[in-house]
Chain A
Amino acid sequence: MVDTTTSTGSPGSRLLGLTTLVGLAGLILFAFVLTEPDVRLHPTTGEEFGQFDAVRLLYLHVPMAVLTYVAFLTCAVASAGYLLKRGVWWDVTAYASAEVGTVLCGLVLVTGSIWGRPVWNTWWEWGDVRLMTTLVLFLLFSGYLALRRTPAEPQRQARRAAIVALVAVLDIPLINRSVEWWENRTLHQQSTLAELKIEDLTLFTLMLGFVVFGLVFAWLMLHRFRVGWLEHAQAGHEVALAIAERHAEMETLDVDEAIGQTGGGK
């Protein structure tokens, strides 16, 4: 008897999933137990200042922000690939990375807001250019996903979505450069990572965050891509079935007509 229990898993994806879970456990250990809170002393008054334990939120917020860029840039590259080559692989990759990227982008906004409350004393700042451009990115790709769900001829839908992705991704350089271009209109600090102003275990934990969330991203992409591939295969299968049914109907009609003509001649 055939067991129809199937999944998008494979030995490789299961190993990746297991590694991701172990990595997440390690990251939590480093983020909550092994690293120190961000506490500094004011040079003149001697008062304590800094982010204190809220800094532990940055071990997930910063890697997810970078992976949001990676996801949407992947979507843009795959969209360009689709427009040039018209291959299903490109379209499925673009759709998968847009969906995973939107989940990441939503989490970046939420965790950033949660981090901002104790550190900046505000949940949200409408005048902050980086916050607003990130919100715009989230809304643009939410629109992309809505567009993909509208009923349309598959090739036309894929082509429209690819164009939207290529326009939406132009927001990423704005987000990335906003802290320099609009220095006075953002609460965000300039890049401390590129200039390695972070030290020792804090830096290590942040790097571990990049690796672990990179694994989460890879696992999600792998499964989401396979789901997309199955959706495409199912759509093709349904079309093939419909054509076969139509052919069968036509043949039946031909036979009926032939019988009718034979009968009429008698």
Chain B
Amino acid sequence: MTHLGYLLAGWGITLVVFGLYGWAVVRRGRRMAGSVPEGERRWITSKGEDHGG
């Protein structure tokens, strides 16, 4: 395969950036969700949360 270094750099950088950005967004969401009242966490599910019933 020709240009292997360029291919690995291009695909590698893209996948790593998407991975890191996606992880950062999810982490930010987790942090935010904890500080917002339950009633305002629209579109969000909470694992194992006790809804009193």
Contacts and interface: CB of A to CB of B under 8 A. Distances in A.
Interface of A: 1-11, 24, 28, 31-32, 37, 52-54, 56-57, 60-61, 64, 103, 106-107, 110-111, 114-115, 117-118, 216, 219-220, 223-224, 226-227, 229-231, 233-234, 236-237
A41 B1 CA distance: 18
Interface residues of B, number: 38
B13 A107 contact: yes
A103 B9 contact: no
A226 B43 contact: yes
A233 B36 CA distance: 7
Nearest to A217: B18
Nearest to A112: B10
A64 B25 CA distance: 19
Contacts of A8: 25-26, 29-30, 33, 43-44
- Tell me the dominant secondary structure on chain A's binding face: helix
B25 A53 contact: no
A10 B25 contact: no
Contacts of A117: 6
